[in-house]
Structure 1
Amino acid sequence: MSHLYKHLRIHQVFGANTDVGKTIITTALIRASLLNNNRVFYLKPVSTGAPQDADDEHIKRYAGPQKHLLDAHCLFRYGDPVSPHLAVKMASEKQGGEVAPMPSDETFVNSVAEHIRKRAKAMNMPAHMYVETAGGVHSPTLSGTTQLDSYRPLFLPTILIGDSKLGGISSTISSFESLSLRGYIVDAILLFRDEYYRNFAYLTQYFSERGIHVSALDPPPPRIDDHAENFVNTEKYYSNLVPDGHRGDIFNAVEHLDKCHTQRIQELDSMPRRTLDAIWWPFVQHGSVKSEKDVTVIDSAWSDFFSIYDTSSGNTSQPTSLLQPQLDGSASWWTQAVGHSHPTLALAAANAAGRYGHVMFPQATHLPALKLAERLLQGPGKGWASRAFFSDNGSTGMEVALKMALRSFIVSSGLELTSPEKQSLGVVGLKGSYHGDTIGAMDACEEGVYTCEWHKAKGYWFEPPTVSLRRGQVAVSLPPALTGDQHQAVEIFENLARVYDVEQRMKSPLAGHYRQYLEKNIRHLQEDNSRKLAALVLEPIVMGAGGMIFVDPLFQRIMVEVVRDPTLFPAALPVIYDEVFVGLYRLGFESAGPLLGVNPDISVNAKILTGGVLPLAVTMTSDCIFQAFKSDNKIDALLHGHSYTAHAVGCQVANVTLDMIDGLTKSDQWVTANRKWAPAEAHSKVWSFWDPDFLTSISRLDIVDEAMALGTVLAIKFKVNDAGYASHSAQALLQSMRSSQDGGSTSSAPGGGPFGVHYRTLGNIAYFMTSLNTSRATIETLEDRLWSIISNARLS
């Protein structure tokens, strides 16, 4: 991941084009750094062309009188003067036989990272490093990936060498914007001073207005064919450009780069204190935050990892980077779909922002919103949904779902209700449910740790039977309310596929028991005149915030059928599926409807919808729900909305995210994971990215009460004395995971090296979540860490 060292200032040199003087200007920077008595490291990751013309050889040749303090290297060298991705292919062909695979981006970036680490560990005095790229910012690396994306995991501060030739203004600005779109820190722009085109004058003003340092340097003399004469002429140029008197633009540039490095560290160092003085965190008891060390400072993020600031890293005898990789073990509160900072999503957001910004939506339309609505109606809404309503996030999406359901119930039932009777309408659901933090969504749940002083529970919630692995066996656990005594009953299944084969289980005695229990209790609730039930609200399959509760799908299927039974409800209760957490393949399938065998009347999608980039929610409804609001009177309309309804940026990102997810569902990684869970079936409805043998083994540990996994989600419930949400048991038990573990094993973090794990817990329940494209290597590393900690833990 990112590299930042106290004593080693690193900058990566990108060019706005080929032949803009990257190596010449880098040589000048190196000479200036050396004259300031700094040790200097130069790295050219990839070089193509004749060795004598290589950039690292030029650097060594003209490093100046202090060249003994220079360490210059090239990692991948190819003889053909072509683009790196072609050079590696041509080199392989020359060896005869089939073309060898190109080095992967992972191999490439790990090689660069390891080189940086070795140089940094050897330093105990101030030093500079320059990493020079090849060609322009989008020139390909060995694999063919554009340089900007290939190098991005390292997140090195950048120097952009501008283009002083005709057309250079455009290429320089375009290159800067390409760097900015990918989050790069551009500390300076350097270019030659050409008195004819005078690009430097325009670019200096343009970038200075944006707070970017620009330096213009004298151009080099023309190349002379005679090598000896050319050396003398070039050396004279560098002596004038980088004089011994330590004066001039190049020294100002070096001083500026040093200042940027120092300021970045100072700002990171100050952030914990400033945060404690200014921020009120969600779901955090500030009384338990004892010191600045308890604040996680995230400098950047890439793929499945945060890059966090760790002050202790720079204080060892062999200093490591102040920035350490930390796995985002909760997928950033369940939002990540394809990893952090994905360039495809960043470009989609920028495109929509540039085209629309935000525009009013009532009685209007724009292409990103229209395409997204149509896509969702033919995706998770296929076969039942006719309309899509946009809102801000999962909680507001559920608020509007409740409004829709209540109005629809009143209209379809034909009841003439007084205002107090309308206010007392209730919902039926499950204990442990959670639909967001807005007050209306909270009222659709029973009172609990998330509710506020105004909370007024409006409904009834059944305690559900649950699915998990207990001591290596797949079990459906029935709560005492379903068993008729004080003890929990457990039914054992051959495998998870049997549990989630709902159609087959509908014929089982347990299905009859569920139906009898629900009908009896709901009939009793109907006879209670204090509250009329008007909707069924479910988190299908898994209730997230309530404790990662995997509900028996058979129970939920029968709940839906019971509330649609005309003998119990002359007007069927509208059914709401809260799929904010579970929807769009978080659990390995697009929607819960096909798995349960029944579709809702209303459903809500959010979180994964925009790939974790922006807040956006979509509430889909059947035509029956929509018609309940349609009339000639405006007051009958759905008078609900948000200022940023259907914001084009979010809709555009959502469309691109869904495109990417479509591709992932057909990937080898998905197929392989699916087959691990159901090797005898062509495609299993239920599967997980987590290894089935790992899950079984974890569930057998004495300290584990139960464990469960579906899709990206892994949940482990520990046997402890202080269970419940207020418990800190799971947090304390896994505390050592937060720090990097350097056990010598190969790391799956970008750039290699050990990584810590950022995770969230729900009392005595620990959960971990991947993105939809997390590598198997990363998951295996996390499984190994979990096994090592949990298998050695003791019961409290």
Structure 2
Amino acid sequence: MAPAGALLRRSLKAYQVYGANTDVGKTIFTTLLCKACQKFRPGEDVSFLKPVSTGPQEEADDWCSHINTYVPGVATKTLFQFEDPVSPHLAAATSKQATPSDHVVLQSIRRHVSDRASSQPGWLFLETAGGVHSPGPSGTTQADLYAPLRLPVVLIGDSKLGGISQTIAAFESLRIRGYDVETVLLFQDSHYDNHTYLSQYFAGEHGIPLQAFQPPPRRSDRQSDVRAMSAYYETETETEQAPDLVDRLERSHQTRIKTIETMAGDAYRTIWYPFTQHGRLSPSRITTITSAHGDYFQTLVPDSENQPPGDSLLQPSFDASASWWTQGLGHANPKLTLAASYAAGRYGHVMFAEAIHEPALKLAQTLLGVLQNPRLSRVFYSDNGSTGMEVAVKMGLRATRQRYNIDNATKLQVLGLKGSYHGDTMGAMDSTEPSVFNEKVEWYDGKGYWDPLFQRALIDVVRTFPELLHTRHTVDASSQGPSVWTGLPVIFDEVFTGLGRLGPLASASFLGAHPDISVHAKLLTGGLVPLCATAASESVFEAFNSQHKTDALLHGHSYTAHPVGCQVALESVNTLQNLDSKGAWDWAKQGWEQRPADRPSSGAKAADSLPHVWSVWSNKFVTQISAHERVEGVWALGSVLAVHMKDAEASGYTSNSAAQVQQELLAGEIEQGDSWNVHSRVLGNVLYIMTGQMTDEVDVQRLQKLLARALG
């Protein structure tokens, strides 16, 4: 089944009706909307959809029959009906029918919308059940369940006692999940007068119009009630409010489409893109992202202007670069969103020098525990991986100069790996060998030696034989404990590789070695906000510890340890820990069982301490594509897959050999009538794809199938 996508068709003006509470009149207002659209847009199709309903079948039919009674000609539909008149998650649990997954519910809605859009131009109103956070069949609250659809919302406010609070709370729940609330409707109640306060609140604070309608009359007998309701709907749609409401929803729909379709052209004239040669760029090559959820962007379908009006303007695009390696827990993850909202509401941003707040302290303590490195005891916060690496290099250089009493006139350099890359700030750039990334940067001055040895071998050499470093003073630090560095301090850049991207939470464990300084970003916050943590040993810290201000680590950022980032990171790290401990990746590990011959032979104890090497990409698939005639080699570890393409004319970053496969992935495929594709980045002759840490096996298999086809 294809991934669920957002709903936007040129021919179908679709709106989701949410209620601030139960019994606020959702069906009455939906009936008003249907009647008004039918009355003021004659000739346009009007339809009503109830995705989930509970109670006896005749009661479910009442929702539809109510609309059919008072607005004849409206197409009505209920997708999932459960007999027990309780919350959908309870009704589904006691039902004889299988509980539909969230994905099945969303795809069923998408299929119904597709059918309606292909018939003729018109309107569709999707009515939810209960309040904003009433659970769906699986137990996921509706606010989260329906978020991937990204339908604009008509919010029905609560006119009863306590309704002001209920309505605002419902609005805020929708807002922080990325819903666009287009209008608020509610009944007038002269006793509580909620509509007066809420009108000022929504219009004044958020620019959202509110319309208050008279409540319907109540009659004791069925016939009188039907006559009264018929008169009510006629009267209310005769007011000025009704055509104004329809016009506003119509304009909103058209504006939404126009905005999305002109974004690429506007961006082409306005934005200076990173890592992009604008001489080779055109608006058609710019991907318009309208929203994101889970592993997928929702992107504008190419050439949408020339599509049939019933076709979807948006398609799901798998985020195969994990948004530049940052995403791991899914876009719009509600836990991370709430963590950010909590910290923003409690702190905003506060300065950090010689101060502390709980998120920063808890994160530092948690991160040190997760890394399980006995050398590390201090955490220094910065704003991204590149600056975090600059901090690490500053730490290492100062610690070395102090220990060996090297005068300031002597320039120190780094020992780095060939082909390494640590970011684009000057210090991080100078810590790498010359490459395409820095060859035209005027201030670049590579300060190091690029040793191509294996990392563990390099670590052993610098720690075991300090006399090879030509220092004037050697220090035997081994007697001072295992956390004190010897030879030279060792820095690990785990900005990309750490916290589960390659499998273990600390990729240093692959080497069976503990660095003196370790840098972590990207997955640290699940990709939601920038934050970096540079962890260091106490002996490195002591190199800066004195009574003189100039001896301090004079490095910082205005947003150092910002509470929002720290709170989100704390939630992210805890989630990653839980995923690992609960066996979320067992399905992937089982395909990469290690044989005794695969284990290192230099000491059984050391071999047993190394982590299990595995990949979410199947062993069979990796073996298959590695033998492809266009492929030079394949590298798979954890969530990452890197395919090195053959190129007889160019190599490395200047090669274009991976671009054709990238375009094939972008073209995507049609699955059960729905299109989806893969948005990826290439590094010259290397096509890399990575999943999130919560991507399931089904999506990985779908990606493998498409990639195999793209390779031909």
The alpha-carbon deviation at position 744 of structure 1 amounts to 3.9
1:376 matched residue in structure 2: 367
CA contact (8 A) 2:319 2:680 kept: yes
Partner of 2:207: 211
User: Could you report, residue by residue, the CA deviation over 1:469-491 in whole angstroms, capped at 9, with x for unpaired residues?
Assistant: xxxxxxxxxxxxxxxxxxxxxxx
Aligned residues: 673
Which one-letter code corresponds to 1:700 in the other structure? A
Name the counterpart of 2:217.
221
The one-letter code of the counterpart of 1:254 is: V
List aligned pairs for 1:170-209, cutoff 5 A: 170-209=165-204
d(CA) in 1 for partners of 2:458, 2:302: 53
**Counterpart of 1:770?**
691
Q: CA deviation at 1:671?
A: 1.2
Partner in structure 1 of residue 281 of structure 2: 289
Shift, 1:195, TM fit: 1.1
CA contact 2:9–2:117 (8 Å) conserved in 1: yes
CA distance in 2, matches of 1:593, 1:79: 55
CA positional deviation for 1:780: 0.7
- For residues 624 and 224 of structure 2, what CA distance do their matches in structure 1 show? 73
- Using the alignment, how far apart are the partners of 1:217 and 1:62 within structure 2? 20
Residue type at the aligned position of 2:389: M
Query: Does residue 81 of the first structure (1) align with residue 85 of the second (2)?
Result: yes
Structure 1 unaligned regions, length at least 5: 93-99, 465-554, 746-752
d(CA) in 2 for partners of 1:50, 1:733: 53
Q: Distance in 2 between matches of 1:417 and 1:309?
A: 57
Instruction: Return the offset for 1:463.
Output: 3.2
Deviations 1:710-749 (A, max 9, x none): 001000101112222022220123312112311549xxxx
* Residue in structure 1 matched with residue 678 of structure 2 by the alignment: 757
User: How do 1:355-366 and structure 2 match up within 5 A?
Assistant: 355-366=346-357
Helix, strand or coil for the counterpart of 1:754? strand
Aligned match of 1:42: 48
Indicate the residue corresponding to 1:156 in structure 2.
151
Tell me what 1:507 maps to.
none
Task: Give the Cα–Cα distance (whole angstroms) in 1 for the partners of residues 466 and 302 of structure 2.
Answer: 65
C-alpha RMSD of matched pairs (Å): 1.7
1:102 counterpart letter in structure 2? T
Superposition deviation, residue 318 in structure 1: 7.0
* Residues 122 and 318, structure 1, Cα contact 8 Å, conserved in 2: no
Aligned to 1:449: 436
* CA offset digits 1:408-450 (Å, max 9, x no partner): 00011122332xx2xx311011111111100111000112111
Aligned residue among 454, 457, 463 for 2:452: 463
The 5-angstrom pairing of residues 134-145 of structure 1 reads 134-145=129-140
Alignment of 1:528-677 (within 5 A): 555-564=454-463, 565-569=465-469, 570=474, 572-677=487-592
Q: Partners of 1:256 and 1:316 in 2: how far apart?
A: 25
Amino acid of the structure 2 residue aligned with 1:778: D
Q: Does 1:694 align with 2:621?
A: yes
Residue of 705, 708, 711 corresponding to 1:784: 705
Structure 1 residues 117 and 595: alpha-carbon distance in aligned structure 2, compared to 1, 3 A threshold: same
Matched, 1:725 2:653: yes
Corresponding residue for residue 97 of structure 1: none
SS at match of 1:716: strand
Match of 2:406 among 415, 418, 421: 415
2:633 corresponds in structure 1 to: 706
Aligned partner letter, 1:114: R
Matches of 1:658 and 1:350, distance apart in 2: 17
Query: Residues 187 and 212 of structure 2 are in contact (CA less than 8 Å); yes or no, is this contact kept in structure 1?
Result: yes
Does 2:306 correspond to 1:319? Answer: no
Q: Which residue, out of 111, 114, 117, partners 2:111? A: 114
Residue by residue over 1:468-514, the C-alpha shift from the partner in whole angstroms, topping out at 9 and shown as x without a partner, is xxxxxxxxxxxxxxxxxxxxxxxxxxxxxxxxxxxxxxxxxxxxxxx
Secondary structure of 1:665's aligned partner: helix
Say which SS state the counterpart of residue 388 (structure 1) adopts: strand
- Aligned equivalents of 1:60, 1:168: Cα separation in 2: 26
User: Matched residue of 2:216: which SS?
Assistant: coil
Provide the residue aligned with 1:431 in structure 2.
418
- In the alignment, the residues of structure 2 paired with residue 610 and residue 227 of structure 1 have an alpha-carbon distance, to the nearest angstrom, of 58
Note the C-alpha offset of 1:106: 1.3
Q: TM-score, normalised by structure 2?
A: 0.92
Corresponding residue for residue 276 of structure 1: 268
Could you tell me which amino acid in structure 2 is paired with residue 779 of structure 1? V
Contact residue 382 and residue 561 of structure 2 kept, 8 A: yes
SS state at 1:371 partner: helix
Given that residues 367 and 573 in structure 2 are in contact (C-alpha distance below 8 angstroms), is that contact kept between their aligned partners in structure 1? no
Letter in 2 for 1:321: S
1:137-165 CA-to-partner distances (Å, cap 9, x unmatched) read 00011111100111111111111100000
**1:680 CA displacement:** 6.2
Deviations 1:614-634 (CA, angstroms, capped at 9, x unpaired): 000000001110000001111
**What amino acid is the match of 1:75?**
L
State how far apart, in whole Å, the 2-side matches of 1:680 and 1:145 are. Answer: 41
Matching of residue 5 in structure 1 with residue 23 in structure 2: no
2:106 partner letter: V
Is the CA contact (8 Å cut-off) linking 1:44 and 1:74 kept in structure 2?
yes
Q: Deviations over 1:348-402 (max 9, x none)?
A: 0000000001111111101000000011111115311010000000000001111
What is the identity, as a one-letter code, of the residue corresponding to 2:370?
Answer: G
Equivalent pair of 1:217/1:250 in contact (CA under 8 Å) = no
- Cα pair 2:504 2:611 within 8 Å, conserved: no
Q: 1:231 to 1:314 in 2, by over 3 A?
A: farther
- Amino acid aligned to 2:458: M
Secondary structure of 1:645's aligned partner: coil
Aligned counterparts of 2:252 and 2:500: Cα–Cα separation in 1: 43
* Amino acid corresponding to residue 776 of structure 1 in structure 2: E
Q: Give 1:272's aligned amino acid.
A: A
Picking from 12, 26, 30, the partner of 1:26 is 30
Letter of the 1:202 partner, please give it. Y
Task: Report runs of 4+ in structure 1 exceeding 6 Å deviation.
Answer: 679-683
Asked if 2 retains the 8 angstrom alpha-carbon contact of 1:338 and 1:771, the reply is: yes
Contact 1:14 1:159 in 2 (8 A): yes
Q: Which amino acid aligns with 2:242?
A: I
Alpha-carbon deviation of 1:664?
1.2
Output the CA distance in 2 between the equivalents of 1:159 and 1:184: 10
Cα separation, 2, equivalents of 1:213 and 1:156: 18
- Residue 91, structure 1, aligned to residue 78, structure 2: no
Aligned to 1:536: none
Contact 2:652–2:684 (8 Å) recurs in 1:
yes
Specify whether residues 25 and 60 from structure 1 end up closer, same or farther in structure 2 by C-alpha distance, changes over 3 A only.
closer
Which stretch of the first structure deviates more once superposed, 16-25 or 72-81? 72-81
Deviates more, 1:44-53 or 1:597-606: 44-53
Q: Residue 264 of structure 1 corresponds to which residue in structure 2?
A: 256
Give the Cα separation in 2 of the matches to 1:63 and 1:406: 79
Aligned position for 2:603: none
| Whole-angstrom distance in 2 between the partners of 1:53 and 1:230 | 17
Partner of 1:518: none
- Give a deviation string over 1:203-248, Cα, whole Å, max 9, x none: 00000011112111111112x33211211111111111113xxx42
**8 Å Cα contact 1:159/1:186 also seen in 2:** yes
- Say whether 1:146 aligns with 2:146: no
Match among 56, 63, 85 for residue 56 of structure 1: 63
1:127 equivalent to 2:42? Answer no
- C-alpha distance in 1 between matches for 2:265 and 2:391: 39
SS in 2 for 1:14: strand
Where 1:620 maps in the other structure, the secondary structure is strand
